[in-house]
Structure 1
């Protein structure tokens, strides 16, 4: 059996009235790569006569039929970021996340793209964040500082990551 030392914050889903396990839970992993390793190792694994179904939490919650039945609130859209992250500023109002992704794919694999929006009006702000799969790709992206994008000279800086990468994953047994 594979032992994972990178499991953070395991949570078992329980019935609110009885406290009995619902047969599923959530586990936070340190990175997307480690979560995929866990999925490959454990999906379909027989645990005490029951087959485990292991999936990314974002996939499970999106397909949940009645989220009000769970004691945990429905999850929002999750953006999985790597530690190779940049800040991109001075963006045009018309820029969409897919525009950023398309532009920065010339630097390598874009793991995530996040364009911040104003909570009240939903209007795009003029900055965002992208993360890459390697330090080399991050360095290539930094070379796009002060280059023209959608009619504006963009600002590209390395973003400082405050905490280790986390990824929620669900274990259903």
Structure 2
């Protein structure tokens, strides 16, 4: 099972020294197609480094996929390379959303560094949205909302710091992208950032 190429920024080797890599080299992989298997995940990530384990989360009663899983690498650098190369690439017809596994959901639940973006042109996908925001800091997660494969014109961006989020908000709110006037704000509800 080959992973199709997607649009994502690539890190140069000298940039790894400046990264703040987490001690646990575990990646959350979300927005998976329901038919993706543990073997598919392993195959998609195996060229990125030494994989210690792969977990696909399933419903305890039905056994059906919950459409997310975890890939654990030997080193944080290998996990970082995998995230950079594979985030937003297509696996079984759907782009994977990859981020560092956050065992402690406090940052995600409190909304620190989170932004809501609306009035997006239908051509803007998650990879394009991330490319718009990544110049303001480290983006932990980025997602354009979809319904049955159709983009809904809004999305969410999570930065690693409030400072980066505020810089992005001030710079991008009320700007034009693809002919549409962006609305960027701090979301009122943070449930959309949950895994």
Scaled by the length of structure 2, the TM-score of the pair is 0.47
Q: What count of residue pairs does the alignment treat as equivalent?
A: 114
Q: Does 1:159 align with 2:187?
A: yes
2:167 is aligned, of 137, 140, 146, to 140
- Point out the structure with the larger strand share: 1
Larger deviation, residues 79-88 vs 136-145: 79-88
CA distance in 2, matches of 1:134, 1:67: 28
State the match for 2:153 in structure 1: 126
The secondary structure found in structure 2 opposite 1:99 is: helix
For residues 127 and 94 of structure 1, the distance between their equivalents in structure 2, rounded to whole angstroms, comes to: 12
1:111 paired with 2:102, answer no
- Once the two structures are superposed, the pairs formed by residues 1-173 of structure 1 within 5 Å of their partners are 36-37=22-23, 39=24, 55-56=26-27, 58=29, 61=38, 62-63=41-42, 72-77=63-68, 82=108, 83=111, 84-119=113-148, 122-143=149-170, 144-162=172-190
State TM-score, norm by structure 1.
Answer: 0.52
Q: Deviations over 1:34-68 (max 9, x none)?
A: xx54x47xxxxxxxxxxxxxx55649943369999
More helix by share: 2
What is the CA–CA distance in structure 1 between the aligned matches of 2:56 and 2:169, rounded to whole Å?
A: 44
**Consecutive unaligned residues in structure 2, runs of 5 or more:** 1-19, 31-36, 43-53, 70-96, 100-106
CA contact (8 A) 1:85 1:159 kept: yes
Q: Please give the alpha-carbon distance, in whole angstroms, between the structure 1 residues aligned to 2:168 and 2:56.
A: 42
Whether the aligned pair in 1 keeps the contact of 2:57 and 2:66 (CA below 8 Å) is: no
Q: What's the RMSD between the two structures over aligned residues?
A: 3.6
Q: Residue 85 of structure 1 contacts residue 160 of structure 1 at CA under 8 Å; is this kept in 2? A: no
Describe the SS at the equivalent of 1:104: helix
User: Relative contact order, CA 8 A, sep 6+: which one is greater?
Assistant: 1
Do the aligned residues in 2 keep the contact of 1:85 with 1:161 (CA within 8 Å)? no
Task: Give the greater-gyration-radius structure (CA).
Answer: 1
Contact 2:28 2:68 in 1 (8 A): no
SS state at 1:102 partner: helix
Q: Distance in 2 between matches of 1:96 and 1:66?
A: 25
Return 5+ residue gaps in structure 1 as ranges.
1-32, 41-54, 168-173
